[in-house]
Amino acid sequence: MNIVKYAALALALCLAACSPTTLKSTFNATDAAFINQKGTGTITGQAFLRRNDGMVVYAAGSEVYLVPKTPYSDERFASIYKGSKISYFGSTFKNDSAEYYNYTRKLIADGEGRFVFTDLAAGSYYLTTNVTWMVQYAQQGGWLMERVTVSNGQTSNVIMSGQ
């Protein structure tokens, strides 16, 4: 009987996570424009997750995204991460803005999950990346998120571990 309950719960969680969300805010390019301005701020970081057996898995070769913190991105990240710094299911949005993606930066983490964004304008940003691994035929891990504020001439160091 417990197996049936767990299966039903897993299905309900999957359906809830897979069902598209309607965003209340609209994307405003003016709010996000600072990401395309040259500044003197830097973000360095490393992304990893610790498996249940204690092994560390790095975001080696994963894309790392830098997204300006705006009312639109606030709503998106609240929906995806639900107050956490790790998401296992993600979200899709019914009314997503294609223009939103023009106001992000992306790079690839090195073999130890390290990354560096340079020439950043002062402001607040979201960082996201994924860390995954395979166990038998099942993918495990998830998407990580951190909020970071950058000041001119300063370097912010970020550890992304889901904590």
For residues 97-115, average pLDDT: 96
- Residue 88 has a pLDDT of 86
Residue 108 pLDDT > 70: yes
Residue 17 pLDDT > 70: no
Chain mean pLDDT for the chain: 89
Angstrom distance (rounded) from CA 62 to CA 109:
6
Residue 102 pLDDT > 50: yes
Residues with Cβ within 8 Å of residue 9, at least 6 apart in sequence: none
For residues 47-63, average pLDDT: 95
Tokens in use for 20?
């598209």
AA letter at 11: L
Beta bridge partners of 50: 56
Residue 49 pLDDT > 70: yes
- Residue 15 has a pLDDT of 46
Residue 11 pLDDT > 60: no
Instruction: Name the pTM for this structure.
Output: 0.85
35 confidence band (pLDDT: 50, 70, 90): very high
Residues with Cβ within 8 Å of residue 75, at least 6 apart in sequence: 23, 24, 25
Rounded percentage of the chain residues whose pLDDT exceeds 90: 73
Count of CB atoms situated within 10 Å of the CB of 87: 20
CA 60 from centroid of its chain's CA atoms:
15
Does 16 or 62 have the greater pLDDT score? Answer: 62
Number of H-type helices and E-type strands within the chain: 3, 9
- Residue 18 has a pLDDT of 61
Query: What is the residue whose two structure tokens read 């894309």?
Result: 63
Angstrom distance (rounded) from CA 58 to CA 112:
6
For residue 16, CA distances in Å to 13, 83, 91, 94 come to 5, 17, 9, 14
Does 85 or 91 have the greater pLDDT score? Answer: 85
